[in-house]
Structure 1
């Protein structure tokens, strides 16, 4: 599958089969995140793999609006991507830290690797980080930024015309000066 085909086939899956992810596929997804680039190679990203009933339930408590069947959207795996505090590169001009960007690159690479392996995902940012910190007992130097649900889809991608209607037109997306 070409990268263009991969980007067009990926969608935000919100319903999963009750089917485990093969360990080798999960390893490949984690490896894609591990090797993701980061600003100045600081690598502030850390991933908590929620692949047991107890861990998935904790993730669901943090993302209560998406809790389903003891997980987030009923996914067999929820990847909690955290930033290791005070390790990301900081831009000197305005003190912008790259942690959100670096962790986003990790999620993006894991998301696309999952799709390439025949799995579906949903990138979740609508969760309460304080609940996640408390539920998981995360140390003070780890801050949860994203969740990525992973599994075999029990729903289907919307039609191409529906997807196109949801997408920003190129004339709005591209800035022409």
Structure 2
């Protein structure tokens, strides 16, 4: 499957089968994240892998709107992408720190690798970072940025035409004034 096929086919899974993800697939997804580019090759991202019932429940407590069956959307695997902002590249012109961007690239690459491996995902940013920090006893210099739920989808994507109708048209995408 080519990349554009992967990009068109993946969707945000909000219900998962109750089966574990095979370790070789977890490893492939994590490797895709590890290989992600970062500004000036600084690699400030770190990933917490949650598969135990206790860790999945911690994730669910940080995202109560999406808590289901002791996890986030009932996923058997939740990847929490964190950053160490002090390790990230900083743009000299305005001081912009690349940490969130770098973490997002990691999350995106893992999301696409998961889909390519036959897994479903949902990128979750609506979680309470203070709860995650407390539940996982994260050091002060570590900031949680993105959560990625992973597993075998128990739901179906919307029909292709309905999904395409929700996407931005290319002409609008190419016009910053639109």
TM-score by length of 2: 0.97
Instruction: Give the match for residue 16 of structure 1.
Output: 16
Equivalent-residue separation in structure 2 for 1:33 and 1:4 (angstroms): 19
Point out where structure 1 has 5 or more consecutive residues left out of the alignment.
Answer: none
SS of aligned partner of 1:93? coil
Segments ≥4 residues shifted beyond 3 Å: none
Equivalent-residue separation in structure 1 for 2:39 and 2:146 (angstroms): 18
Cα gap change, 1:70/1:170 in structure 2, threshold over 3 Å: closer, same or farther?
same
Instruction: Give the match for residue 72 of structure 2.
Output: 72
Instruction: Give the match for residue 50 of structure 1.
Output: 50
Equivalent-residue separation in structure 1 for 2:95 and 2:39 (angstroms): 14
Shift of 1:141: 1.4
Instruction: Give the match for residue 59 of structure 2.
Output: 59
SS of aligned partner of 1:86? helix
Equivalent-residue separation in structure 1 for 2:175 and 2:92 (angstroms): 26
Q: Is 2:150 the counterpart of 1:168? A: no
Equivalent-residue separation in structure 2 for 1:43 and 1:54 (angstroms): 28
TM-score by length of 1: 0.98
Equivalent-residue separation in structure 1 for 2:176 and 2:55 (angstroms): 47
CA deviation digits over 1:100-137, x for unaligned, max 9?
Answer: 11000000110000000000100000001011101111
Cα gap change, 1:37/1:24 in structure 2, threshold over 3 Å: closer, same or farther?
same
Instruction: Give the match for residue 149 of structure 1.
Output: 149
Pairs aligned (count): 177
Equivalent-residue separation in structure 1 for 2:32 and 2:160 (angstroms): 28
Point out where structure 2 has 5 or more consecutive residues left out of the alignment.
Answer: none
Does the CA-based 8 Å contact 2:85-2:97 persist in structure 1?
A: no
